[in-house]
Amino acid sequence: NAGVTQTPKFRVLKTGQSMTLLCAQDMNHEYMYWYRQDPGMGLRLIHYSVGEGTTAKGEVPDGYNVSRLKKQNFLLGLESAAPSQTSVYFCASRTSETNTGELFFGEGSRLTVL
Amino acid sequence: AQSVTQLDSQVPVFEEAPVELRCNYSSSVSVYLFWYVQYPNQGLQLLLKYLSGSTLVKGINGFEAEFNKSQTSFHLREPSVHISDTAEYFCAVSDLSWGKFQFGAGTQVVVTP
């Protein structure tokens, strides 16, 4: 059972380049999230989705775009990468049933912007 | 809106010694509370959670946490740590609706022999 899978796991970009991170989950979860993790700052929410075709901004959305065309996939795009976007990105998903609440995380995607 | 404060950024501890990781939160509504663990170069895994009921919750690998509503705290304890417990630990809160999670900054636990 794969759970939450992120691709790619590592990427190096030059300033101004664009790229897309793919998150795929096989648990039929409604909710999906993109976080970035930076030292001493914990995880900060970039964008999230509460269902297919819906997206919303989180805590730090600037410079990122997302799409959720299929329930199992949540894409995070950087149109023009900046060094400040160097980070580890985590995708997570969860069921909509509020009596569980657990987030399931991917293994992370490490992005370096030069 | 919620916020989470983890009072210690790093906690060194000797093998087989006890450890407590402190977490305080603020929220204007009722919340669920979580502790996640992140081993090196991995994603986060759920350690334990408080949804309702008994304020003392037990998780994997002997960890436990106590919810204290009056002090708005959810401290994590392990009575005897192992080398393999070396990891970063995150406290998180989520509101009771659709579940927007707020994470603390993390506490790095380093266990030495």
- Number of Cβ within a 10 Å radius of residue A34: 28
pLDDT of residue A2 exceeding 80 = no
**In chain A, what residues touch B90 (CB-CB under 8 Å)?**
42-43
Look up residue A17 and give its amino acid. Q
Stretch B34-54: mean pLDDT: 91
Least confident of A85-99, B40-54, B93-107: B93-107
Of A42, A48, A101, the CB nearest to B103: A42
- Number of Cβ within a 10 Å radius of residue A39: 11
Least confident of A4-18, A81-95, B26-40: B26-40
Chain A contact for B60, CB < 8 A? Answer: no
| B99–A98 CB contact, under 8 Å | yes
Stretch B35-52: mean pLDDT: 91
pLDDT in tens, A13-33: 999 999 999 999 999 999 999
Indicate the pairing of strand A87-94 with strand A31-37.
antiparallel
pLDDT in tens, A54-67: 999 999 999 999 99
Query: Which pLDDT does position A1 carry in this prediction?
Result: 61
Tokens of B99: 């579940």
| B49–A105 CB contact, under 8 Å | no
pLDDT of residue A37 exceeding 80 = yes
User: Among all residues of chain B, which has the CA nearest to that of A41?
Assistant: B105
**In chain B, what residues touch A96 (CB-CB under 8 Å)?**
98
**In chain A, what residues touch B32 (CB-CB under 8 Å)?**
101
Query: Which pLDDT does position B104 carry in this prediction?
Result: 93
pLDDT of residue A11 exceeding 90 = yes
If you average pLDDT over every residue of chain B, what do you get? 92
In this prediction, residue B29 has a pLDDT band, given cuts at 50, 70 and 90, of: confident
- Rounded CA-CA distance B96/B61 in Å is 27
**In chain A, what residues touch B48 (CB-CB under 8 Å)?**
none
Inter-residue contact B36 to B46 (CB < 8 Å): yes
Query: Which pLDDT does position A36 carry in this prediction?
Result: 96
Share of chain B above pLDDT 90, in %: 73
Inter-residue contact B111 to B83 (CB < 8 Å): yes
- Rounded CA-CA distance B3/A114 in Å is 32
Look up residue B58 and give its amino acid. K
